[in-house]
């Protein structure tokens, strides 16, 4: 379903209508033919679907009414943005799934108590990456003075995108989980070299990665991205 913003006419649209997909990049709005996604039903897809199913049951059958209300209060106090950049509110259930699905994917325990600080963690403006074909390693640079890095329970979740040709300027996915960096009383070392990438890459290819910051109370930041040209 497309989101449409009306002014004197239609001034913004995002989504799909009647075979056309509307979106926006740095150069402005554009439209392309809609493509129907396939469902390869990969092992990764099955894992993610299993995580969502587990959390859905946990929300309804494990969490207490007080815990669910705490997530609802958090949701009503935190602003999010839709495809048009407009401020919206998610439900407590949405935030519970959003915060905990990434934790279960990283083999961390779910956080059932709703956050009592009503704001998302800030993105890391220093986030950057480098990549080496020879070692098949991506090094992640981050600010080790941020709250997640200096507290037990904080986490930086790392995701790598499928490598692209050097002339590619935009990339929306697919991305794959590429490990985590855990916070501690003694901050983790930056840059952090991560081997065994989910996608192999070669010299001069362009690689995009994104990260999210998670805190011990379950709060999860928006995505923040970085890209690089792979070195030899």
Six-digit token pair at 117? 């600080």
- Chain Cα centroid distance, residue 158: 9
Q: Which domain holds residue 23?
A: 3-33
pLDDT of residue 192: 95
| Mean pLDDT on 104-128 | 96
Structure-token match 């956080």, residue found = 111
Same domain, 132 and 225: yes
Q: What is the CATH number of the domain that holds 192?
A: 2.60.40
Within a domain: 112: no
Within a domain: 116: no
* Residues belonging to the chain: 232
Structurally, how many domains does the chain consist of?
Answer: 3
pTM, rounded to two decimals? 0.84
- Chain Cα centroid distance, residue 190: 21
Q: Do residues 174 and 198 touch, judged by C-beta distance below 8 A?
A: no
Six-digit token pair at 115? 């956050």
Within a domain: 219: yes
Asked if residue 43 has pLDDT above 90, the reply is: no
Longest dimension (CA), the chain: 56
Same domain, 205 and 150: yes
Question: Whole-number mean pLDDT of the chain?
Answer: 90
Assign 103 a pLDDT band (cuts: 50, 70, 90): very high
In Å, how far are 140, 190, 227 from 126, measured between CA atoms? 10, 11, 12
Asked if residue 27 has pLDDT above 60, the reply is: no
pLDDT of residue 7: 66
Asked if residue 35 has pLDDT above 80, the reply is: no
Within a domain: 120: no
| Mean pLDDT on 91-111 | 96
């Amino acid at each position: 379903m497309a989101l449409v913003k009306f002014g004197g006419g239609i001034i913004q649209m995002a989504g799909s209508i009647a075979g056309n997909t509307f979106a926006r990049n740095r150069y402005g709005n554009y439209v392309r033919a809609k493509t129907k996604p396939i469902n390869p039903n990969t092992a990764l897809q099955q894992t993610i679907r299993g995580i969502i199913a587990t959390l859905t049951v946990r929300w309804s059958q494990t969490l207490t009414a007080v815990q669910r209300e705490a997530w609802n209060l958090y949701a009503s106090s935190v602003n999010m943005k839709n495809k048009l950049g407009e401020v919206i509110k998610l439900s407590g259930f949405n935030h519970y799934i959003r915060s905990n699905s990434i934790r279960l994917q990283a083999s961390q325990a779910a956080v059932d108590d709703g956050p009592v600080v009503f704001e998302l963690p800030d993105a890391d403006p220093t986030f950057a990456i480098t990549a080496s074909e020879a070692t098949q390693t991506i090094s992640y640079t981050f600010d080790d003075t941020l709250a997640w890095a200096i507290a037990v329970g904080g986490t930086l979740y790392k995701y790598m995108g499928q490598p692209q040709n050097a002339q590619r300027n935009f990339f929306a996915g697919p991305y794959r989980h590429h490990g985590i960096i855990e916070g501690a009383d003694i901050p983790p070392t930056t840059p952090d070299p991560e081997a065994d990438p989910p996608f192999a890459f070669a010299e001069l290819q362009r690689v995009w990665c994104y990260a999210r910051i998670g805190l011990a109370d379950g709060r999860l930041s928006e995505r923040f991205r970085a890209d690089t040209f792979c070195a030899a």
